[in-house]
Amino acid sequence: MNLAVLARWIVAVAASSILAALTVAAQLGILTMMGALLGGDGSAGSAYLIATASFYLSLPCFFLGVAILGAPAAWTLTRLKGDRAIPAGLLGGAVSTLIGAIVLSSSLGFTGLVFASTLPLAGAITGLTYRELMKSPN
């Protein structure tokens, strides 16, 4: 692995993890604002608190997930001749939803599945971002 590929990998992991965490935070903040998540009052203060906490809690999870599973998933898609945008988004969404639903439901029960409902979109954004940033420059 040369230095250019390593630098692209570091940027791809960081950028896709940050975008995924922002996506989760935005979705949970909106759900809280609507009052659908905690059954609460739907105030902006509670939405800000949930969005901030979910960003800081999901960022390391996405960072580890992309760092560990990003390269093998991209390699698999390349070998299967499926290295296009839609398969990358679908694989990212499927992997993050599956792993996230298992972890969240085992630790939080049914409430974890409510939090896991934000993972398909975040995973799809992660897969697409990782794919685009790991393309070799021509």
**Which ranges constitute the DSSP H helices of the chain?**
3-33, 44-79, 85-108, 110-116, 119-134
pLDDT score at 40: 60
pTM of the model: 0.87
Q: Which two tokens stand for residue 69?
A: 């599973």
- The dihedrals phi and psi of 94, each to the nearest 5 degrees, come to -70, -45
31 or 122, which is more confident?
122
Decide which of 39 and 137 is more confident. Answer: 137
- Name the DSSP letter for residue 41: -
Alpha carbons within 13 A on the beta-carbon side of 124 = 9
Instruction: Extract the tokens encoding 91.
Output: 């694989």
Query: Distances from the Cα of 50 to the Cαs of 25, 31, 125, in angstroms?
Result: 7, 10, 21
Residues whose CB is less than 8 angstroms from the CB of residue 93 and which lie 6 or more positions away in sequence, other chains included: 119, 120, 121, 123, 124, 127
Tokens of 64: 């580890």
pLDDT in tens, 23-54: 999 998 888 888 755 556 667 778 888 899 99
Per-domain residue ranges of the chain: 3-134
